[in-house]
Amino acid sequence: MTNSIFTKMAKLISLLIDEGPKDTFNYIKQYLYEKKIRKKEYQIIQKFKNVNNLNIKTVKILTYGSNAELILQLKNIFSEKFEVDIVSEQKKKFTDDLYIIIDPQNVKYFPKNYIILSRNSQIPSSVYSKWHYFNVLKNAIAIFDSDLTHIAYLQQNNINYKRIFYIPINNKYHNLEFYIKRFLLSVDLINFSELPFDMLSQNNQKRYCLGLPENIERRESFLLDNKYNFSIFDGLRHYFGWKGCAYSYKYLIQYAKRNKWDYVIICEDDVLFSDDFEKKLESIIEYLTQTNHEWNIFSGLISDLHEDAEVSRIEFYKNTEFIYLNKMTSTVFNIYHKSIFDTLLRWNEKSDDVLINTIDRYIEAQKELKVVTIFPFLVDHKEEQASSIWNFQNDKYSDMLANSRETLKKKILEYKKRCEYE
């Protein structure tokens, strides 16, 4: 333990001397992230990782009662990848296969590896039954739940939302297929290319909000604020949350490319809109669609502006200064031009390096990136919300955002001074 601490300290000192505070901050974030995983999420992540290590050949669906249509749908989806058996007789002895248990209230014996699919949100009334019910849920690999109210209840009773997967059961096979495969992707049992790719609703204004339906508080908060016609996309998942985030952007960008759009607007569900947001956005879209200057991304909020970022141009349009940069970091609100689509689709899903392969750091690392923004920024983010990836409150970003604003302000002034002398 002591040697480990000294090793970390030596690494920090070396980074401060050789690389400066920026890379040191990234290292600290990585260290704290891993530490938090060890304390709070290690078991969840290991459980999901182990699903892939089980070398699953057969999925067994354990059910009681009349579930014929649902069982057929589940069988068709899972049979694309596995052998599927339907089990209606309860036994004390189980195989090591993966079991899907539909509505566990009447089940007495449970296999080693099981997923609960809950259609019935009724909670057992007796103390023992309730204890047994939650014990069953806590021992499950994952919980598939079709009721968002019930999902909220489970979270209030200390079931981590990262173990819960929203699975709408509404007799629409295609919806069920997407959400089941969303889970399979999260535990590396399928590849990104195996997802169905026509799940998004058409939005004529090309506006989408990315969020997780299982994160009830953030979803409800965004719905209250969504006066601007954003269609909600239920984000993809992975046991490394940052990887699920990147998968989600890849999915949305692929949809935009397939529809041959010139751009797509993507925000995240902790975005904070100003009262004049719509008016400003319309002006921004108008500028971006008529300008002769090349651009890849319009950033509505730069959370961590790199010290090496350079202002290359400032253009004045309808009382607004449009600032051109070569770097940016943030995905709270961005407009992605078609010129960046292929770059985003090349994001490497095989890399687990959190320091360079989060989607925002991947974007920041692109050479000759052409970023446009305005200052003050178009949007902010809700400090009272918790990050879906890093497991801390958004207010932890406050100092970073303040530094980013000051850095941009300084670079704008430096650019204007240079222009005066040219």
What confidence tens digit (pLDDT) does each residue in 103-131 have? 887 788 899 999 999 886 667 666 658 88
Look at residue 261 in the predicted model and tell me its pLDDT: 98
pLDDT, residue 201, reads 87
Q: What is the per-residue pLDDT for 2?
A: 41
Which alpha helices (H) appear in 79-172, and where do they start and end? 127-139, 148-156
What pLDDT does 1 receive? 43
Pairing of strands 311-317, 320-325: antiparallel
What single string gives the DSSP state of each residue in 57-91? Answer: -EEEEE--SS-HHHHHHHHHHHTTTSEEEEE-S--
Domain(s) labelled CATH 3.40.50 in the chain stretch across: 58-192
pTM of the model: 0.87
Residues of the chain where predicted confidence (pLDDT) is lower than 70: 1-41, 65-66, 89-92, 120-122, 124-128, 171, 173, 386, 388-396, 421-422
State the pLDDT at residue 234: 96
- Name the segment(s) of the chain with CATH classification 3.90.550: 207-421
Query: Could you give the CA distance from residue 20 to residue 3 in angstroms, rounded to a whole number?
Result: 24
Instruction: Compute φ and ψ for 314, nearest 5 degrees.
Output: -130, 125
Tokens coding 125: 């009334």
The encoded tokens of residue 127 equal 């103390």
**CATH number assigned to the domain with residue range 207-421, chosen from the 4 options 1.20.58, 3.10.105, 3.30.67, 3.90.550:** 3.90.550
Q: How far apart are CA 288 and CA 17, in angstroms?
A: 42
CA distance linking residue 280 with residue 291, whole number of Å:
16
- Second-level CATH architecture of 58-192: 3-Layer(aba) Sandwich (3.40)
Q: Is residue 261 classed exposed, middle or buried when 0-12, 13-18 and 19+ CB atoms within 10 A define those classes? A: middle
